[in-house]
């Protein structure tokens, strides 16, 4: 799935949408990457499953100065992510990764 800019969607599928939020689900098998995508809106990510995930900011994007980073996955953990990032998510773990992303419209 891609948007009008040709970039990928922020996750695999939309589970719910109204005027205030769009709720996405992302599933990545070990070694699998998401398409490069841009976050136009603030969002909240809820980690559901997995053991380790990586994020690769796009060259020249607002988060490029942070560079590639990895984190342990703790199911149930949440994080607020501000709008503006362009990135690729990578399952660098040994088990399937899953999250729910609540995009604030």
Range of the domain at 52: 13-104
The tokens for 63 are 């988060």
Residue 1 resides in a domain: no
In this structure, is residue 24 part of a structural domain?
yes
> What is the per-residue pLDDT for 83?
94
Q: Read off the CATH number of the domain in which 24 is found.
A: 2.60.120.10
Closest by CA to 72, choosing from 58, 43, 51, 86, is: 51
Please report, rounded to a whole number, the percentage of residues in the chain having pLDDT higher than 70.
93
With vertex at residue 95, the alpha carbon angle to CA 51 and CA 35, rounded to the nearest 5 degrees, is: 90
Of the pLDDT bands very low, low, confident and very high (cuts 50, 70, 90), residue 6 is low
Residue of 96, 104, 98, 75 whose CA lies nearest to 29: 96
Flag whether 7 is in a domain: no
């Amino acid at each position: 799935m891609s948007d009008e800019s040709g970039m990928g969607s922020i996750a695999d599928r939309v589970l719910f949408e109204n005027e205030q939020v769009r709720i996405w689900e992302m599933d990545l098998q070990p070694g699998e990457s998401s398409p490069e995508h841009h976050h136009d809106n603030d969002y909240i990510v809820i980690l559901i499953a997995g053991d380790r995930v990586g994020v690769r900011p796009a060259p020249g994007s607002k988060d490029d100065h942070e560079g590639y980073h990895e984190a342990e996955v703790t199911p149930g953990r949440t994080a607020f992510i501000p709008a503006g990032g362009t990135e690729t998510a990578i399952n660098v773990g040994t088990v399937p990764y899953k999250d729910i992303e609540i995009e604030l419209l």
